[in-house]
Amino acid sequence: MLKTNGASVFDNRQVQHESELEQQVSAVIQARHGIVEVRSQFPKVTYVDPEGHLREHIFDYWARFKNGFRLAIAVKYERDKAELDPVFSGVQRIHRALFDDMRIMTERHATKDDFRNAKTILWSREFHDEGHVRTLLSELHGQSGSQIQFFQLYAPHVERTDRTIAIWRLIDLQVLKPVQRGRVNELTWFTINL
């Protein structure tokens, strides 16, 4: 029986999560700027292990970027990632048509803070209002390269929830780039990138 930590939907495709770590990694992948397709439990590859035996491995995720680049992603805890060395070194050439590169993502690449930020970015994609986003963009016009804190982006004439969603949408679009890594909150500093 398949253990699961649920599923999410990305571009009308169900994406499975077999563990809490997979759920975190999946959200981080989906929220990454430029990702246009995500699949779970794909691709299935064969590899030759160090003893010369032919084995199978199924990657946890596969992602395609807007520019066509395809990434096969294995999810492992940092302490266990060496288990994947034989897979990465022994993947047969015939499978290279399915992806351009392979990566291992661990809890270092998808922390709890990264997960929370990713979920909020995905929320902003779904619920943003283009008018509010354009208004905020016009307020930032001429400030490219300067820094601003999250709370400074609130305006008295704009409903707080609408403005929060617009701020997160601009984070997603990389107009607002956090100065430091970590959980984004109202004290986070951003560099304006217009």
Mind giving me the DSSP string for the chain? ------EEEETTEEEE-SSHHHHHHHHHHHHSTTEEEEEES--EEEEE-TTS-EEEEE-SEEEEETTS-EEEEEE--GGGGGGGHHHHHHB-GGGGGG-SEEEEE-TTTS-HHHHHHHHHHHHHHHH--HHHHHHHHHHHTT-TT-EEEGGGG--TTS-HHHHHHHHHHHHHTTSEEESSSS---TT-EEEE--
Domain CATH code at residue 149? 1.10.10
| Structural domain contains residue 54 | yes
Which domain range does residue 71 map to?
7-105
Tell me what pLDDT residue 2 has: 45
| Structural domain contains residue 97 | yes
| Structural domain contains residue 92 | yes
Number of domains in the chain: 2
Entry pTM: 0.90
Query: Same structural domain for residues 95 and 11?
Result: yes
Facing residues of 37 across strands? 64
- Interval 113-126: pLDDT, tens: 999 999 999 999 99
Query: Same structural domain for residues 170 and 101?
Result: no
- Interval 134-175: pLDDT, tens: 999 999 999 999 999 999 999 998 999 999 999 999 999 999
As a whole number of angstroms, the distance between CA 194 and CA 109 comes to: 27
Domain boundary among 41, 73, 105: 105
Tell me what pLDDT residue 3 has: 52
Divide the 194 residues of the chain into consecutive groups of 10 and give the mean pLDDT of each group: 71 93 97 97 92 94 98 97 91 88 96 97 96 98 96 95 98 98 97 96
Residue 14: is it exposed, middle or buried by C-beta count within 10 angstroms (0-12/13-18/19+)? exposed
Query: Same structural domain for residues 11 and 91?
Result: yes
Query: Same structural domain for residues 80 and 15?
Result: yes
Which pair of structure tokens corresponds to residue 38? 């995500």
